[in-house]
Amino acid sequence: MITNRKEEHVQLAISGDVGFRELTNGLEEVRLPYNALPELNFSGISTEVDFLGKRLSLPLIISGMTGGYPDAERINTGLAESAAALGIAMGVGSMRAAFDRPETRSSYTVLQSISTAVPVITNIGAVQLAEWYRKGALADRINECIELVGASVVGIHINPLQEMLQPEGEPDFSGVLEAISAAVDLSPLPVMVKEVGAGISGAAAHKLVKTGVACIDVAGAGGTSWAAIEIKRHQEQDKLQEFREVGISTAECIRQVAALRKQHPTQHSNHSPFPTIVGSGGISSGYDIARALYLGADLCATARPVLQAFAAGGTAQVIQLIGDWTLRLRQWMFITGAATPQQLTMMDKTQA
């Protein structure tokens, strides 16, 4: 069942009408401030960033998408080659299938080949995480996930809208926050929590910050609509359309979560550094990356545009696409006077 589902998701994401119809990622409303005195040489602009202790060439992650069925191995291999060539991080899709159907494990283990070059991120559904926690199996399962892909970050996804609409979904989110907190304590690696395209609000992020997570990927609305994908797979398609546009735009999520950074660490007892903020959900250009950073994201992530590029022209097309985004990001950095992505993130918004 899971294998068919994951395959259907990929096919719908490549060719289906699964974007939002009305909601946008909100980045189109952001105007980057022009700087007539950047004091920079364009050729010296660096797009490198730190991501949880590892260096990336570009502030970008290929978001977790797939694994768990035969063709997923081909896709993950191609995306991993692209990520390694580009020097960016990459996640795998939900790792549940690796436990339910161990014969599909090679679709995940292909990531090991790039794990010394770039950060690899596991992907565990929060519902699954809570179940492992209840059964006392959390530490073992997390370590198995880490080993399978050679991870340097433990990724967990929260997706109540998707679970509720998925015909075979498991919409039981009770105990999820406690399980995330336990995962932070038990994991030998930093923990990142992501949505899947409906967004993490400031209020939800505030709860995550208190657990001590190292990274929050807002995965906001405006890109791939998981409600649209699951509704297409549902027998009662017509009755569920009202959920298609549910979510908080990516720009709004970044604004709300970045606003929490100002209150930290005084408000939190654990005094761990404020989590790295990943801006994602409908990121589809270097301009989007620049605007997401300016709003306060530390880096960005992208899923569907990369999958579509891979489907159209393989690894070469993914590298070409992200190469174009890199040039455009550097151009925006130059004319705003940002020598590094971090300077764009920290830029004084009052001077805009």
Q: Which is nearer to ligand FMN, 157 or 330 (CB)?
A: 157
Closest to 292 (Cα-Cα) out of 352, 219, 204 = 219
Closest to 349 (Cα-Cα) out of 273, 258, 253, 275 = 258
Backbone angles phi, psi at 278, to 5 degrees: -105, 125
Rounded Cα distance between 289 and 295, Å, is: 10
Min dist. Cβ of residue 275 to ligand FMN (A): 17
Min dist. Cβ of residue 220 to ligand FMN (A): 8
Q: Which is nearer to ligand FMN, 81 or 217 (CB)?
A: 217
64 binds ligand FMN (CB under 6 A): yes
Give me the DSSP letters along 289-311. HHHHHHHT-SEEEESHHHHHHHH
Q: How many Cα atoms are found within 13 Å in the side-chain-facing hemisphere of 1?
A: 6
Q: Which is nearer to ligand FMN, 255 or 304 (CB)?
A: 304
277 binds ligand FMN (CB under 6 A): no
Min dist. Cβ of residue 183 to ligand FMN (A): 15
Min dist. Cβ of residue 337 to ligand FMN (A): 28
CB atoms within 10 A of CB 29: 11
281 binds ligand FMN (CB under 6 A): yes
Rounded Cα distance between 175 and 197, Å, is: 22
Instruction: Show Cβ contacts of residue 267 under 8 Å, excluding neighbours closer than 6 positions.
Output: none
212 binds ligand FMN (CB under 6 A): no
The residue within the footprint of ligand FMN, chosen from 3, 63, 128, 336 (CB under 6 A), is: 63
219 binds ligand FMN (CB under 6 A): yes
Residue 317 backbone zone (phi > 0: left; psi -120 to 50: alpha; other: beta): alpha
The pattern of x and - marking residues 93 through 132 that bind ligand FMN according to CB under 6 A reads xx----------------------------x---------
224 binds ligand FMN (CB under 6 A): yes
Number of residues that bind ligand FMN (CB under 6 A): 25
Rounded Cα distance between 147 and 109, Å, is: 9
204 binds ligand FMN (CB under 6 A): no
E strand map for 170-271? 191-194, 215-217
- CA–chain centroid gap for 232, Å, is 23
Rounded Cα distance between 270 and 161, Å, is: 30
The residue within the footprint of ligand FMN, chosen from 190, 223, 247, 286 (CB under 6 A), is: 223
Rounded Cα distance between 187 and 189, Å, is: 5
Window 299 to 318, contacts with ligand FMN (CB under 6 A) = 302-304, 307
Min dist. Cβ of residue 40 to ligand FMN (A): 30
Closest to 208 (Cα-Cα) out of 294, 219, 23 = 219
Q: Which is nearer to ligand FMN, 303 or 309 (CB)?
A: 303
The residue within the footprint of ligand FMN, chosen from 141, 194, 244, 330 (CB under 6 A), is: 194
Stretch in the footprint of ligand FMN (CB under 6 A) among 79-87, 138-146, 281-289, 314-322: 281-289
CB neighbour class for 231 (10 Å; exposed up to 12, middle 13-18, buried from 19) = buried
282 binds ligand FMN (CB under 6 A): yes
276 binds ligand FMN (CB under 6 A): no
Where along the sequence are the contacts to ligand FMN (CB under 6 A)? 9-10, 13, 63-66, 93-94, 123, 157, 194, 196-197, 219, 223-224, 280-283, 302-304, 307
